[in-house]
Amino acid sequence: MASVTLQSIGKSFGGTPVLSDISLDVADGEFLTLVGASGCGKSTLIRIIAGLEPQSTGSVLIDGVPVDHLRPHERQVAMVFQSYALYPHMKVFANIALPLVMSRLRMVERLPLLRLLSPRRRRVMAGIADEVHAVAKQLQIERLLDRRPSQLSGGQRQRVALGRAMVRQPAAFLMDEPLSNLDAKLRVHMRSELAELHARIGTTFIYVTHDQVEAMTMSDRVAMMDNGVILQLGSPGDLYARPANVRVAQFIGTPAINLLPAKASAQGFVELFGHELPVRAGRSPGTALTVGIRPETLVPRPAGALRPGTHALIGRIRRSENLGAGRILYVDLASPAGGSVTVATGNESDAAPLDTGDLALLFAPTACHVFDADGQRVDDADTIAAATGGARARALT
């Protein structure tokens, strides 16, 4: 168990920068997820922590001690690979036992034939066998110890890979998209199993994924990466509720957030489709802004029945998807600029009449995320202001 600290890590491959100035503190026992689209540098970062890739600049510290000069196995970290990287010629037992065999047996004791000469080897191997069995029991793969990886299902291989990582009792687990090779159902199952495993053994987990659901469901904190930098670091709730950047807002949450073009009005408020919202723009008048509204915060109602003080987008349903528990509506906006938004709604019985005619999509101004032209969040300190702005109903079309 240990903390992991990254101090301004940078990495470039032959002149192409892939990571720039990444600093990060992972507390002892924390579950931290690096999330981002492919090519954002998250896998490179975890490989740098593992020691499989040297960083160009900066320093990696484990438990406060720099480990930059140490080889992967000396860093006391265990890694679970996306492909699992099980040794295909070894049985499950040997796969799990390998890290212990490597660290506890001397070179001579591992060589074929010569190893038979060592009396110590037997004793050590018996100890290793006990530990392998204990780990296998925890993961419920005891019955598989005698099989080869090719005889296992995806989920079983995943467990073996976990077992191989656990058996060393590492300072930290590094996981590089460990669930992405599983089918959807198994992925959901392994997700909760991994979270439970983390709760049980309490070791530091650093987890890489491109799946925001995995990031949201398992982590204590999430670091959202893009283009080699961390856009935002915070709790899953933070990233969802207060995305620091438009790219974070786009990445976190399904269906994806609706982004609408807006600008700062002469009065300093956010102007959406020509109407002022009671939200401070925080930027000089005329500046282009982007308003983000999450699909699940839009409430569809038949148009024309707006109460005073409410805000709504007007549009017409182009397509709707029934998910059973809820529905996703794709609504073409009636604004002259066009555009469309996605709405996630419950599956109430009154949903059917919405399908025809104009629709008002109610939203609370406080649920709007405002971003400037660079994609940076326009701080809430500016925007929370005067939520009482509009006394009469505003139908934004």
Instruction: Please pick, from the candidates 20, 68, 73, 250, the single residue that binds another protein as defined by CB under 8 A.
Output: 73
Is 102 a residue that touches another protein (CB under 8 A)? yes
Are 39 and 84 in contact by the 8 Å Cβ rule? The answer is no
Is 241 a residue that touches another protein (CB under 8 A)? no
Q: Pick the closer one to another protein by CB: 101 or 387.
A: 101
CB of 4 to another protein, least distance (A): 15
Question: Which long-range CB contacts under 8 A does 47-52 form with residues at least 24 apart?
Answer: 47/176, 48/9, 48/11, 48/19, 49/4, 49/6, 49/77, 49/172, 49/174, 49/206, 50/75, 50/77, 50/79, 50/174, 51/75, 51/77, 52/79
Q: CA-to-CA distance for 31 and 4, rounded, in angstroms?
A: 11
What is the token pair recorded at 42?
């998250």
Q: Pick the closer one to another protein by CB: 9 or 100.
A: 100
Phi then psi for residue 324, to 5 deg, are 90, -75
Number of residues that bind another protein (CB under 8 A): 29
CB of 178 to another protein, least distance (A): 12
Reply yes or no: is the peptide bond before residue 278 cis, omega within 30 of 0.
Answer: no
Residues 153-182 that bind another protein (CB under 8 A): 164, 168
Q: Pick the closer one to another protein by CB: 51 or 282.
A: 51
What is the token pair recorded at 183?
């089918």
Are 360 and 304 in contact by the 8 Å Cβ rule? The answer is yes
Strands (E), 114-257: 172-176, 204-209, 221-226, 229-234
Is 148 a residue that touches another protein (CB under 8 A)? yes
CB of 78 to another protein, least distance (A): 7
Is 129 a residue that touches another protein (CB under 8 A)? no
Q: Pick the closer one to another protein by CB: 83 or 140.
A: 83
- Residue 372's H or E segment, with its range, is strand 369-372
Among the listed ranges 107-115, 126-134, 339-347, 358-366, the one in contact with another protein (CB under 8 A) is 107-115
Are 49 and 77 in contact by the 8 Å Cβ rule? The answer is yes
Please report, for residues 249, 296, 321, 388, the alpha-carbon distance to residue 326 in angstroms, rounded to integers and kept in the order given: 22, 10, 9, 32
Among the listed ranges 13-21, 109-117, 240-248, 348-356, the one in contact with another protein (CB under 8 A) is 109-117
Is 125 a residue that touches another protein (CB under 8 A)? no
Is 10 a residue that touches another protein (CB under 8 A)? no
Is 79 a residue that touches another protein (CB under 8 A)? yes
Is 110 a residue that touches another protein (CB under 8 A)? yes
Is 103 a residue that touches another protein (CB under 8 A)? yes
Binding mask 27-66 for another protein (x = CB under 8 A): -----------------------xxx--------------
- Residue 383's H or E segment, with its range, is helix 380-383
Is 388 a residue that touches another protein (CB under 8 A)? no
What is the token pair recorded at 294?
């999450």
Q: Pick the closer one to another protein by CB: 76 or 287.
A: 76
Helix 119-139 vs helix 92-104: angle between axes, to the nearest 10 degrees? 130
Instruction: Please pick, from the candidates 23, 83, 235, 254, the single residue that binds another protein as defined by CB under 8 A.
Output: 83
Q: Which residues contact another protein by CB under 8 A?
A: 50-52, 71-73, 77-79, 81, 83, 85-90, 98-99, 102-103, 107, 110-112, 148, 150, 164, 168
